[in-house]
């Protein structure tokens, strides 16, 4: 499995479109167990990314591309999820600096660093019903012989039945059980679009 600059760019543009399509769904989930802004936040962020990608056509490597995406998300998203997604991409940039494509250990190292970055920025860990519950199993499965789409789908199923103990959703306590975490859903959209462009 290999991730190139062009492939990541394609995945990000596809994510921006998918977020637009699922914007209302993301917002509705956040209305149930949050403050009803996740779709709006993610839309603002990824439309910002799309605009940057359309004007910048000289992104030399995965480090430059990831850094641009991270900074754009931090600047535009607002809400808890902005700095968290932004951190993930800034962490990709630190691991993939100067690289035009990554595979194997380098691919894994980027996702490991990104997941650890989200956890340390959010002071969170797996099992608290957040985006970490998608990023962590996804990252672990990069080193296993598993189908990545299935890992993401299973992680979404598992996350849905957790009780939120972190972030705004934690105020809703037991009522969060059985409702999908909006950040878990948006993370699955992003990661599935990245899986789509990984090639042998």
- Where on the chain is the footprint of ligand ATP (CB under 6 A)? 30, 34-35, 37-38, 41, 79-81, 84, 118, 122-124, 130-132, 166-169, 181-184
Shortest Å, Cβ 168 to ligand ATP: 4
Shortest Å, Cβ 150 to ligand ATP: 21
Helices (H) and strands (E) in the chain, counts: 9, 2
Asked if residue 78 lies in contact with residue 108, where contact means CB atoms within 8 angstroms, the answer is no
Shortest Å, Cβ 110 to ligand ATP: 19
Cβ-based nearer residue to ligand ATP, 12 or 77: 77
Shortest Å, Cβ 37 to Mg ion: 4
- Residue in this structure with the two tokens 């990023």, named with its chain if needed: 135
Asked if residue 3 lies in contact with residue 107, where contact means CB atoms within 8 angstroms, the answer is yes
Tokens of 192: 């599935």
Tokens of 96: 């993939």
DSSP 199: B
Cβ-based nearer residue to Mg ion, 65 or 169: 169
Q: Which does 132 bind (CB under 5 to 8 A by kind): ligand ATP, Mg ion, none?
A: ligand ATP
Tokens of 22: 């699922």
């Amino acid at each position: 499995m290999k991730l190139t600059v062009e492939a990541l760019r394609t995945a990000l543009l596809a994510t921006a479109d998918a977020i637009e399509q699922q914007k209302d769904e993301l917002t509705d989930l956040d209305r149930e167990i949050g403050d009803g802004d996740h779709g709006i936040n993610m839309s603002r962020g990824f439309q910002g990314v799309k605009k940057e990608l359309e004007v910048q056509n000289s992104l030399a490597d995965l480090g430059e591309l990831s850094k641009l995406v991270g900074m754009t998300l931090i600047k535009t998203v607002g809400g808890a999820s902005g700095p968290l997604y932004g951190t993930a991409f800034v962490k990709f940039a630190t691991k993939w600096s100067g690289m035009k494509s990554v595979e194997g250990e380098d691919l894994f190292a980027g996702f490991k660093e990104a997941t650890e970055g989200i956890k340390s920025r959010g002071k969170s860990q797996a099992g608290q019903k957040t985006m970490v519950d998608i990023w962590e199993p996804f990252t672990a499965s990069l080193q296993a012989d598993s189908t990545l789409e299935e890992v993401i789908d299973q992680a979404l199923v598992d996350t849905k039945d957790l009780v939120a103990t972190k972030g705004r959703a934690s105020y809703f306590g037991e009522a969060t059980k059985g409702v999908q975490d909006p950040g878990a859903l948006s993370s699955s959209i992003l990661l599935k679009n990245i899986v789509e462009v990984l090639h042998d």
